[in-house]
Structure 1
Amino acid sequence: MGHPTVIRSLGRLLLLCAAVVRPSAAHAVVRQPPPAPPSAAIASLVRALDPSAAGGHDRALLGAIMRFYTDRHFEPAWTDARGFTAAGERLAQAIASAADEGLDPQAYPLRHPDAPTPAALAHADVQLSFVALRFAEDLAVGLTVPGAVHRDDAYARRRIKGDSLLRALADAADAETDPGRALLAMAPRTVGYVRLRDALERLRAIERRAGWGVMPAGPALRRGTRGPRVAQLRRLLEEHGDLGIPSTTDRTVAFDETLAAAVAHFQERHGLLADSVVGRATIAALNVPVGGRVEQVRLGMERARWLPTVAGNRWITVNLADYRAFVFADSLPVFETRVVIGARNHKTPMFVDTLTHIVLNPAWNVPPSIAAKEILPKLRRDPDYLVRNHMVWVGREIQQVPGPWNALGQIAFMFPNRFNVYMHDTPAKELFALPDRAHSHGCIRVQRPHELAELLLRPEGWTRARIDSVIATGRRTVVTLATAIPVRITYATAFAGSDGTLQFRPDVYGRDTLLSHAIRQEQQRPLPAALR
């Protein structure tokens, strides 16, 4: 056989062998495409988000999410091939502590990746970013929109810069610092907020121990009273922290001076007449369940989040529910006074403004509503009504001329606002002795106006003697402040006093009920559909 023949035979043999070992098409191995990189899965998810379909709060947050991931080319921030990174876990743990800040952890649901697939990891990464933003905004500026909760509330809604915050948290993670701690630092840092947070922890500890006892109804208790209800009163005051001295066997049934002082302390803390008599109002306050006090503290924390940072080192705060006004300097209270606020049908609004001038010997321009409802009907019955009340017509308006009879008293503190509400003196001094001081048409009457004016005008070179001498002239005098002073009109039924003692006040305007409902509504809002 020649070489060509041998070569052809070998070729046919090789082809036959190849045909034997080559698998059929039906049994061919299907090659899977390589898994999509995490950035591709994140890009797909982020592009599927629809801010236009979200509610007002979430719309801005979703826009921040989209900018954040776009800027980082859709690289994951909190996950790796196995799940959450250590930084992601710390961020999730911070969010899980929402209850410590008076927030509901169930409002911030997080789902750990159930499998290390690109889609599951992308979902976990973006969801954590969104929930962290929602938590940060709720923590920093409040869950609720103040003006939507109370119509008579003019606090401006503030926002956080979501993409900037996420970048800062991611930078903290890259620097191996704790992004969870950075997230929790979004909470207000004011002394009042921190004290409420501490009080919330104490109250919840009491709640876990089944709360405090109940005071049975019966006749009023006072010094000298004896019996089992006195013993129960003593136990309750110890539970509430107003009576710290352990009782002896002999004292448990006797209403002695120690118990009287503890009752007065409890009454002062709850805005009641501190007469050491345990009547209906005191028993009602004792019997508010600890859960009710927890809710009041949570509402106080929410209102603290509403307040903007004060510019400067001096400001005025009025707590309407407490019927008191304060001057703060370098975050410390340096002055306080009782106030009378709007009656329940003339509620004083909550707002932030700036005190620009003080008027000595002010004239009162009677608001048209008061003139129509009160002055004009009296004038029709008594033609001399205006003269006897030192009032005159100025064009089409009624004005009460300056003097000790004036409804504004001798001093008015002016911070122009759309409500036409300001602080002023009053000739009706007797109202300051009442525990319930909601009696004005909306303005805030000050018990110690001369001392307040002296304090505020001291940097302007004024003394008390100079103030009194100008008032003695009877002439209206306007003193413009060289440096305007921020004024915050607030409403808090739970707060820490100047000595740190936890205080509670009745909900005189019913605003707690409205706010509690609004918070429940906000905490039930679901996550955007793509992130559930």
Structure 2
Amino acid sequence: MNRRELTLGAAVAAVALPAMAQTAAPYAPVTTSDSPYYAAFDAQIARLPAAEQPDVRAFYELNGWRPVWNADRLRRLNEAAGRIERHGLSRNDFFDFVGLAADPDSADLRTTTAALKYARVLAEGMVRPETVEELWEMQKNRVDLPGGLNDALVRNQLVEWYEGLAPTDIGYNNLSAGYIRYRRLIAQGGWPAFPTRPGTLEPGASDNRIPALIARLVAEGDLAAEAGNRLSAEGLFYGPELEAAVRGFQARHGLAADGRIGPGTQSSLGVSAEDRARQIALNLERRRWLKREVNPERIEVNTAAAIMVYWKDGRPVHSNRVVVGAPSTQTPSLEKPFASVVANPPWYVPAGIARREILPRGPAYLASQNMYIQNGTVIQRAGPTAALGYVKFELRDSYAIFLHDTPSKAAFNLSVRQRSHGCVRVQNAVEFARLLLSPDPTLLDQFDAAQTSRRTTRIQTGREISVRLLYWTAFVDGQGRVAFREDVYRRDRVLAEALGIAVDLPAVVADGRVDVNDVGP
């Protein structure tokens, strides 16, 4: 089966431009009867896919139903299309100039259709997120594309307009630059395959895979080229310098950074450069779905990496490890306002968890967990062993998804932390609550008093803090390196199928067993 890329591929050959408008002057809207082109354009629009017709019609209404594409504007459009690779997209998906020029009578409208299609992909993404995720409720980006394209043509700022449609934040730009680096790696031959074998390659051992390991680490920058040359000359020994580079690779992939090349590390080492580039492209697509303006104070949880970052005044100021939903009980993609902090919260057990995991164990188990039944609901009293720990961070209208403390601290030390029933367990949650409340000493005093008394107390934050639950399997870390996480929720696979591409990513290798007594949300 052919593999359809999300990449630029070979450069598009120059072709004769279609015969189109000969002037670049803007047109004032006119009635349809005033334009000799209206009937032809209207008939051509009727043959377009239904989803594309409204934008194309709106654009020509703004331009008086006259042709708009002259040679200069086409050159500008071609220049904008020439920057498509940095978005992980294929130029041939949008700008088939040979096809556009094939029929001069329809070239103007077909060019407009292609230009608007490309603009929508940059502004909003290629697919609707709800079609590839079971629950996706975030603020989408919305742009008046017909009006924007018209204004860009009038102002002669077509390239600049296209450049501003995709996200311009540092996260997108850095990931885009990473994508370009991986495409260059592929053009240079990528890296050699690292064979997967049973067992673990331990530091201090000798192994005939060492040359492939060195080349692999040099290719992505985990090991300097000079060091790689020196180590290659030393033979098949897995020594300390190479071990340090492996630890860096492991940290970048969210693996246990112990230098031991076990099943999880071997699996990540075995991924090709092409598949990592495709994974970056998928995550660029996810970022294009999102509204560009974000709250300067927000909490972002990357459920693929099980990491939380707190942003204040537009800067990341604090990060924690978190435990998020297991593959069978995934944490959804949500964006909700943070409403209040609850100190010493009781846990009102969801009916499904109660029915499957608690009630079958009988009254003795309920008593041992400090639980009781009221009006058919299982409730766990607040306390040191309560599933919600000492603090809960409530989200407004969040499908019973919230952030909270937990008595099960050991899971924070694991690399695969997708283990909850869907809620987000926060490492050092009490300290994080104090950080959020610290701008108002009165609120902080209330929280501290509640922690001392162990009384259940709800404390309103008094300000809007948004919480964004995201799924990013490729992102740029604090050292400027592209970091990857395995597709634990299999959302990369679903998105890739929707986009018509093939991607081969490794299965997740867990590094710890699930605690059978852990029944928290």
| TM-score category (smaller protein) | 0.7 to 0.9
1:194 aligns with 2:180: no
Give CA deviations for 1:433-491 in whole Å, capped at 9, x if unaligned.
11111111110101121221122112232586763332121111111121111111000
Within 2, Cα distance between the matches of 1:252 and 1:356? 59
2:230 & 2:99 partners in 1: Cα distance? 60
Give 2:270's match in structure 1, choosing from 280, 287, 290. Answer: 287
Q: Distance in 2 between matches of 1:233 and 1:302?
A: 31
More helix by share: 1
How far, CA to CA, are the matches of 1:110 and 1:235 in structure 2? 38
CA distance in 2 between partners of 1:191 and 1:274 (Å): 27
* Residue matched to 1:147: 130
Distance 2:111 2:325 in 1: 45
Stretch moving more, 47-56 or 257-266: 47-56
Secondary structure of residue in 2 paired with 1:283: helix
> SS where residue 489 of structure 1 aligns?
strand
Does the C-alpha gap of structure 1 residues 492 and 285 become closer, same or farther in structure 2, counting only changes over 3 Å? same
SS in 1 for 2:389: coil
Q: Does 1:450 align with 2:430?
A: yes
Residues 125 and 274 of structure 1: is their aligned pair in 2 closer, same or farther, counting only changes over 3 Å? same
Whole-angstrom distance in 2 between the partners of 1:359 and 1:436: 28
1:71 partnered with 2:51:
no
Tell me if the contact between 1:129 and 1:166 (Cα under 8 Å) persists in the aligned partners.
no
- The answer for the alignment partner of 2:206 in structure 1 is 226
Letter in 2 for 1:215: F
Kept in 1: contact 2:340–2:395 (CA 8 A): yes
Structure 1 position 212 matched with structure 2 position 191: yes
Deviation at 1:94, TM superposition (A): 1.4
Asked if 2 retains the 8 angstrom alpha-carbon contact of 1:351 and 1:489, the reply is yes
In structure 2, distance between residues paired with 1:342 and 1:297: 23
How far 1:203 sits from its partner (Å)? 0.3
Measured in 2, the distance between the counterparts of 1:45 and 1:145 equals 31
Larger CA deviation: 37-46 vs 147-156:
37-46
SS of the residue corresponding to residue 492 of structure 2 reads: helix
Is the partner of 1:346 in helix, strand or coil? coil
Letter in 1 for 2:130: G
- Partner Cα distance (1:313, 1:240) in 2: 33
Match of 2:474 among 490, 494, 504: 494
Choose the corresponding residue for 1:98, options 79, 84, 89: 84
1:391–1:401 Cα contact (<8 Å) kept: yes
2:404 aligned residue (424, 427, 451): 424
- Residue deviations 1:287-322, cap 9 Å, x none? 101111011100110111122234431111100010
In 2, are the aligned partners of 1:496 and 1:503 still within 8 Å (CA)? yes
**TM norm structure 2:** 0.84
Q: Give the Å deviation of 1:275.
A: 0.7
Aligned equivalent of 2:40: 45
Task: Tell me which amino acid in the other structure corresponds to 2:281.
Answer: R
CA distance in 1 between partners of 2:393 and 2:101 (Å)? 65
Counterpart residue identity of residue 182, structure 2: L
- Are residue 387 (structure 1) and residue 367 (structure 2) matched? yes
Contact 1:409 1:425 in 2 (8 A): yes
In the alignment, is residue 271 of structure 1 matched against residue 254 of structure 2?
yes
Alpha-carbon deviation of 1:138?
Answer: 0.7
1:367, distance to aligned residue in structure 2 (A): 0.7
User: In the alignment, which residue of structure 1 is the partner of 2:284?
Assistant: 301
| 1:237-278, Cα deviation, whole Å (9 max, x unpaired) | 112210114242654433222111100000111111111011
Structure-2 change in CA distance of 1:49 and 1:476 (3 Å): farther
CA distance in structure 1 between the partners assigned to 2:77 and 2:90 by the alignment? 16
Match of 1:131 among 99, 110, 114: 114
Unaligned runs of 5+ in 1: 1-35, 80-84, 522-532
Inter-CA distance 323–37: structure 2 relative to 1 (3 Å threshold): closer
Q: Map of 1:78-89 to 2, 5 A cutoff? A: 78-79=69-70, 85-89=71-75
Cα offset, 1:51, TM superposition: 6.0
Q: 1:373 aligns with which of 335, 356, 373?
A: 356
Mapped partners of 1:279, 1:395: distance in 2:
50
Shift of 1:125: 2.2
Cα gap change, 1:454/1:499 in structure 2, threshold over 3 Å: closer, same or farther?
A: farther
Task: Give deviations 1:123-149, integer Å, cap 9, x for gaps.
Answer: 222222221111111111111111111
Indicate how the Cα distance of structure 1 residues 49 and 457 shifts in structure 2: closer, same or farther if over 3 A, else same.
Answer: farther
Equivalent AA in structure 2 for residue 301 of structure 1: L
Q: Residues of 2 paired with 1:489 and 1:65: CA distance? A: 35
In structure 2, C-alpha distance between the alignment counterparts of 1:259 and 1:414, rounded to whole Å: 46
1:372–1:312 Cα change, 3 Å: same
* Pairwise CA distance, 1:45: 2.9
How many aligned residue pairs are there? 467
Change (3 A) 1:50 1:408: same
2:386–2:407 contact (8 Å) kept in structure 1: yes
Counterparts of residues 55-66 of structure 1 (less than 5 Å): 55-56=50-51, 58=52, 62-66=53-57
Structure 2 unaligned regions, length at least 5: 1-20, 24-33, 502-521
TM superposition shift of 1:180: 2.0
| TM-score, length basis structure 1 | 0.82
Tell me the CA shift for residue 65 of structure 1.
2.2
Query: Which amino acid is 1:165 matched to?
Result: G
Q: Which of 230, 249, 259 is the matching residue for 1:248?
A: 230
Please point out which of 295, 310, 327 is paired with 2:310: 327
Query: In 2, Cα distance between the equivalents of 1:113 and 1:147?
Result: 32
- Separation in 2 of the partners of 1:128 and 1:304? 27
| Contact 2:141-2:292 within 8 A present in 1 as well | no
Over the residues paired in the alignment, what is the CA RMSD in angstroms? 2.5
Residue aligning to 2:516 = none
For residues 208 and 446 of structure 2, what CA distance do their matches in structure 1 show? Answer: 60
Amino acid at match of 1:260: E
Structure 2: how far apart are the matches of 1:112 and 1:259? 51
Alpha-carbon offset, residue 115 of structure 1? 8.1
Q: Equivalent residue of 1:322, what SS?
A: coil
Q: C-alpha distance in 1, partners of 2:95/2:377?
A: 59
Q: Which residue is equivalent to 2:30?
A: none
**Matched residue of 1:413: which SS?**
strand
Secondary structure, aligned partner of 2:458: strand
1:285, distance to aligned residue in structure 2 (A): 1.1
Q: Distance in 2 between matches of 1:300 and 1:124?
A: 33
CA distance, structure 2, for counterparts of residue 235 and residue 109 of structure 1: 37
Of residues 313, 323, 326, the one that matches 1:343 is 326
Give the direction of change, closer, same or farther, for the CA distance of 1:465–1:242 in structure 2 (3 Å limit): farther
Q: Structure 1 residue 109 and structure 2 residue 95: aligned? A: yes
- Give the counterpart of 2:149 among 166, 172, 189: 166
Change in Cα spacing, 1:275 to 1:66, as seen in structure 2 (3 Å) is: same
